[in-house]
Chain A
Amino acid sequence: MKKKRVVKRPKSRREFLKYAASGMAGMLIVTLMPKPSWAQRIHQIEEMKHVPDWMDHYYAYVVDTTKCIGCGACVRACKRENNTPDGYFRTWVERYQITDTGHVYIDSPNGGHESFPPKDVEGNVLKGFFVPKLCNHCRNTPCTQVCPVNASYETPQGVVLVDKEICIGCGYCVQACPYDTRYIDPRTHTADKCTWCYHRITKGLAPACVTVCPTKARIFGDLKEKKSEVREIIESQRVMVLKPELNTEPYCFYIGLDRAVR
């Protein structure tokens, strides 16, 4: 005997609306579920141990924008240390000037390499500040996800690197990065980006930009170390990340971010 197939489907508009409402309520509950705080995440990181000892670090970076004076020492140091081509920057400094006429002036002449020349603005500057930018070394990384050849990856220490031997220079990652931190190196035609000076941090040194910062606006450290400065700041101070709405989970934190910063 052939059995008639029973397909359950809403019979009336009333029933359809009921299903739709319950579905939406379910989705809302999922979105409202609490995310782990940064302090909780640090504890989770501490428990992770599946790597050899020399790799047993988990790095984070803090930028204190209230201390930055825009001298450009970090940009110059990065250029020297990593030998980046002219006009391309692994880290750069942006100048923000907000005037009483309501304008927001944002500029970064040559990445802040030669510091900043005074700029004529309309009206008086109400507030101004410098914001150093660099690769945010996200955990939910848009750039590594789009790489078609798996040349870009996250190391177990939380650093995002590019393997130049494998990179084909397609530039997808350059487009995918919401922070504009990647570029195609015109000499090798491969993607390049900030590595938090991987050759330095694996030797126990701080990245070049952190080493030369005269006001200690850039801070770098290991989250697995209980007394590290970054951990203390993230646990006790009011920190923010860039573009949190994109859910990229950056490990580069900012103190004193303004609404105008993009």
Chain B
Amino acid sequence: MSKYSHVVSVFILVGLAFLGFEIFQALLKPDSFGQYGNFRGDHLVEASSLSVLHRGDDYCLDCHDAEWDMADAKHANVPCESCHFLPGAHAILADKAPPADKAKAAGSKYVKVAIMPIDRTAQPCLNCHIFLPSRPVKFPQIKDRAKHIKDGWKKTMGEVDIKSTCDRCHNSHFPKAFVKGVT
């Protein structure tokens, strides 16, 4: 026994502790930890690979721009998918559907793909246009719905049911124009 044996044993103990820590860390630490920073690098890939549901107008206009120009419309800023439907299934099926010229040969203007259900009740309109004191003053709002329909009645000179939905008089795309077909 040399007189340094106690020092050696301390070194061995510290070395073992260090080794144990390294083994534990190697076993427990995710592979990609520290790739981009102090986190699991693979999570960035996982987080960015979720499926996209909302696509925005550009996505719809890829196919539908020729038939529709909303540039001057009051509702130009309202995205298509707010009132129509999420384009997801519609667009996936559209890719698989026969090309447009085949549909033309069959005598149809459009390729029939997934149904896009539209909520035609007044609720989607009223979400934005019912009067609330918290809304910006300049934003068009309806204070009294019954009165609004009654006033509208005089303007259109037609039969307007009190239970009518908004699209009885307004064009949802160009809401300034009263009565469908009359600009």
Contacts and interface: CB of A to CB of B under 8 A. Distances in A.
B36 A80 contact: no
Contacts of B82: 73, 212, 214
Interface residues of B, number: 36
Given A166-B40, A198-B47, A199-B47, A212 B134 contact: no
B134 A205 contact: no
Residue picked from B47, B75, B82, most chain A C-beta under 10 Å: B47
Interface stretch (A7-15, A123-131, A243-251): A123-131
Given A66-B136, A211-B54, A212-B54, A73 B127 contact: yes
B128 A156 contact: no
A154 B77 CA distance: 32
Nearest to B43: A163
A199 B56 contact: no
Interface in B25-55: 30, 36-40, 43-44, 47-55
Interface string B132-156: 1111100100000000000000000
B86 interface: yes
Contacts, number: 110
Interface residues of A, number: 47
Interface in B62-82: 75, 77-79, 81-82
B126 interface: yes
Contacts of B132: 70, 95, 116, 118, 128
A215 B76 CA distance: 10
What are the 9 closest A-B residue pairs judged by CB atoms, nearest first?
A128-B134, A199-B50, A153-B39, A125-B133, A202-B48, A115-B127, A71-B128, A214-B78, A208-B54
24 contacts: A69-B128, A70-B135, A73-B82, A80-B54, A80-B86, A81-B54, A95-B134, A115-B126, A116-B132, A118-B130, A118-B131, A118-B132, A125-B134, A128-B135, A129-B134, A161-B44, A163-B43, A166-B30, A199-B47, A200-B52, A202-B48, A205-B55, A211-B54, A212-B79
Interface of B: 30, 36-40, 43-44, 47-56, 75, 77-79, 81-82, 86, 126-128, 130-136, 139
